[in-house]
Structure 1
Amino acid sequence: MANPCVLRAGSDMPECSAADVDDLSEFLAALTAPQVIRGLVKDWPIVQQGKRSRRDLGDYLTRCYSGAPLITSSGSADTNGRIAYDESFTGFNFQRSHMQLEEFLAGIEAYAGQDQSPTLYVGSSLLDHWFPGVAAENTLAPSVAKPLASLWLGNRVVVSAHFDFPDNLACCVAGRRRFTLFPPDQLDNLYVGPWDMTPAGQPVSLVDLRDPDLERFPKFSKAMEAAQEVVLEPGDALFIPSMWWHHVEGLDDLNVLLNYWWRSTPAYMGTPMNVLKHAMLTVRSLPVEQRRAWRDIFDYYIFEASEDAIAHIPDAGLGMHGPMDENRSRALRAELLNALNR
């Protein structure tokens, strides 16, 4: 049975004004926790159009649109905006299709003002491919590394708590969005679904934060005690550090977000998600004594790594223990591919 009481996050997020930020890249690089920057993108043309009206924003997006069909997700009104699994857990509660932007915006307008409307959502859409005009006229440099910029559009859509490997700067363009963030150490309290069947590529919490079933998910109340919550207004931005879980709720009839992702390590190093999948294949089913031994090895060489671990090896023999530059990365990747293909 769902809990009738609405759980609130344990604390608000730290905030500052855009006027407090001299160098955005340096400011973000120093952060290790979430940070709200009020008014960071308030002067963007897309934000100004959104403040005028939905129609003005729609006209602006149409002018900036490449014409490539959008990948859309739509669900019935009884999903209450939530992107999630179906009751059988063999699929999802929404349907994917392709639409032109004009059709999508017409649907948004048709549902506007309804207390409980069908869900209409466009997830991460690369600006360079779908909205090159937006990329050209609304610019930011959140990182020394070239960030990946995407646009998100929808009505009162709810995306369950999930994490991203890259750092993330989420810029609220139109409508208000409520973000609830959980530190990485709350994994055990979030009741995460399968990692290989996901609504949008990342594993998600099975808990509906707006109406949590604490009989089914009793530890979720502990997650909420550690959570931080904020509502972004158009023009505001939120820095979400790598690996922080975030639940996102659109609060208006049309919500538009532009976000930037970037990594603190070179792309040639690959993603730790591949390591997890390989560990599922090779380590998880070992006898407990062997798993403990491998945990110690990972701690020694990876998680608690220090120079002492390899100080006794001459430089000429370091191999993969040496600094992971592009050449070592290529050689190690080739070795792994050969091993996996046997």
Structure 2
Amino acid sequence: MADALAATLPAVREAFAADAAALDALIAAADGPFVVRGLVADWPLVRAGLQSARAARAHLLDHARSRDFTVSMGAPQDSGRLFYDADMQMNFRMGQGRLPAIFAGFDAAESHAQVPTVYLGSVDIEQYFDGLAAANPMPLSPRSALASVWIGTPTRIAAHNDFPDNLACCAVGTRRFTLFAPDQFRNLYLGPIDNTPAGRAVSMVDLAAPDFAVFPGFAEALRGAQVADLNPGDALFIPSLWYHHVEAFAPFNVLINYWWRDTPRFLGQPQNALNHAVLAIRDLPQAQRDIWRQMFEYYVFSGGDEAAAHVPEHGRGVLAPFDADTAGRMHAFLLRSLSK
């Protein structure tokens, strides 16, 4: 069903970037995702993976630090879908081990037809590898980006979104991204925000077998969905808040991605504000929620100009645009408030 569904969806548009400056210009002008074929085809990791999975693992091991890596392990019958079980608990278990031992398991699995799912997700490259980033350099111009590596057997990761912009580079194996615009969150039927496979609420719809009787709005989400099939060396730009369902197909797959935000980091994470609002506002009586909705519009979603206009400029405090100092004071104020 997944392949048949993907065949009905339009492909993500493709673009060409001759260098980092050209890629930055494409990103700055983008109003949606796009693919750049062969963007990182010259990476040694990509070239090693084209030789063999073992060669790719050897390249990673050459740079791995001597520390424990966190690994997720799923049962073979779940076909790589890292998700919830019938009790809404995770259908995989977590473990830790050194990368040589983990990769020895991949080596042994090459001779077996059915193997458990093994997945190392969002591994911080700087913390867990020495020289890997230099050997396989970021194709963007210099910026403050978090570089992560994703390693695993065939997997299916439910649709979710991320707050930062994202450049996902397929290094080893093949991947398929199915993308949905940010405004489709209702039609994706997101699960709980406090019990998630990896920190972000995920769609409860199984793309391999969508149940339109249970999730009728998903048909609307599909009308605007796009698909990107990535081969080794290809890259996909995923703008902030775009939902993406991710499938990895090869027996051994590696993806390196870069997350960054163009707004200052001191502004904090919007998800934390949503979580706190659910706690503090959602269960109030309707009349009170209506007032708080208006106050949020007045102070937050409107941009706050009206709320600050009548206050002398030198006394506006957090009603004025934030800088690092005022944001720091606001963080401290919130911590004190939450600790009471």
> 1:216-255, aligned counterparts within 5 Å?
216-255=214-253
Give per-residue Cα distances to partners, 1:203-241, cap 9 Å, x unaligned. Answer: 111111111122222221211111111101110111111
SS state at 2:70 partner: strand
| 1:177 pairs with 2:170 | no
| Residue pair 1:7, 1:221 contacting (<8 A) in 2 also | no
Output the aligned Cα RMSD: 2.0
> 1:143-222, aligned counterparts within 5 Å?
145-222=143-220
Cα distance between partner residues in 2 of 1:127 and 1:43: 19
| Residue pair 1:25, 1:141 contacting (<8 A) in 2 also | no
1:153 is displaced (CA, Å) by 0.4
Cα distance between partner residues in 1 of 2:211 and 2:111: 28
Cross-structure match for 1:317: 315
> 1:63-78, aligned counterparts within 5 Å?
63-78=62-77
Cross-structure match for 1:301: 299
Cα distance between partner residues in 2 of 1:85 and 1:249: 17
Cα distance between partner residues in 1 of 2:74 and 2:156: 12
Cα distance between partner residues in 2 of 1:112 and 1:224: 36
| Residue pair 2:154, 2:251 contacting (<8 A) in 1 also | yes
Q: Return the letter of the residue paired with 1:140.
A: M
1:283 is displaced (CA, Å) by 0.9
Give per-residue Cα distances to partners, 1:45-101, cap 9 Å, x unaligned. Answer: 111111111121121111111121211111111001000011111x21111111222
| Residue pair 2:307, 2:319 contacting (<8 A) in 1 also | no
| 1:36 pairs with 2:24 | no
Cross-structure match for 2:85: 86
Give per-residue Cα distances to partners, 1:243-273, cap 9 Å, x unaligned. Answer: 1111100011111000001112121111111
| 1:54 pairs with 2:67 | no
Cα distance between partner residues in 2 of 1:230 and 1:118: 26
1:326 is displaced (CA, Å) by 0.8
Cα distance between partner residues in 1 of 2:20 and 2:259: 19
SS state at 1:181 partner: strand
% same residue: 44
| Residue pair 1:180, 1:230 contacting (<8 A) in 2 also | yes
**Equivalent residue in structure 2 for 1:110, among 90, 108, 111:** 108
* Structure 2 runs not aligned, ≥5 long: none
In the superposition, relative to structure 1, how do residues 331 and 143 fare at CA in structure 2: closer, same or farther (>3 Å)? farther
TM-score by length of 1: 0.93
**Equivalent residue in structure 1 for 2:289, among 291, 304, 316:** 291
Give the number of aligned pairs: 339
| Residue pair 1:11, 1:227 contacting (<8 A) in 2 also | yes
Cα distance between partner residues in 2 of 1:261 and 1:336: 26
SS state at 2:101 partner: helix
SS state at 1:11 partner: coil
1:6 is displaced (CA, Å) by 4.4
SS state at 1:97 partner: strand
Q: Return the letter of the residue paired with 1:331.
A: R
| 1:276 pairs with 2:277 | no
In the superposition, relative to structure 1, how do residues 217 and 111 fare at CA in structure 2: closer, same or farther (>3 Å)? farther
In the superposition, relative to structure 1, how do residues 5 and 181 fare at CA in structure 2: closer, same or farther (>3 Å)? closer
SS state at 2:222 partner: helix
Q: Return the letter of the residue paired with 1:42.
A: A
